[in-house]
Structure 1
Amino acid sequence: MSWPVDVYLSRQSNCLTWDIDFVYTHPEAKARESFSFGDEEELSWIAEDRDMDLDEFGSDLLKSPNADIKDLGATLKSALEADRTSTE
């Protein structure tokens, strides 16, 4: 079963690692999960374990007004495209 979730990303300006928080909005779900990651590959593992659509997530990140989050979205989309190309 999948639960509705809000996703939050944060990073200290002097730090290379990101924090991602999943805040579940359904009353029967866990209240929250938090993870840290250093690159798009680690983010992919975390997101895939939660059945997230990585392509859609990357597109959503590209819409952010925050330049660092946009860069993360571009890197994620680029990695997904490289994976698709290598499997063809």
Structure 2
Amino acid sequence: MTFQLIVSGRVQGVGYRYYVQSLADKYKIKGTVRNQSNGNVMIIAQTDYETLGQFISHLKIPQHRWMRIDNVNIEEIKLDKNYSDFRTIY
């Protein structure tokens, strides 16, 4: 299954994409993470529901005082592409 997650808060310029990458590697999630022009971070995650729940529970925990997570919006999406790994898009 493929999910699109939009994370809002203070998530740019604070190492959040690096943190997402490390979590994706830990949970063996395939997909991408990238900054959006509006200050949010978008994650495409290919995984099952159980792993997604564990992933999201960690995504919501700020790793230091400069990071703030206000909301994580999750939507299951149709995507013809199957990712072979997880990548940070710059």
Same structural fold, with TM-score higher than 0.5 when normalized by the shorter chain: no
Higher helix share: 1
Q: Highest relative contact order (Cα 8 Å, sep 6+), 1 or 2? A: 2
Q: TM-score, normalised by structure 1?
A: 0.31
Bigger Rg, which one: 1
Q: TM-score, normalised by structure 2?
A: 0.31
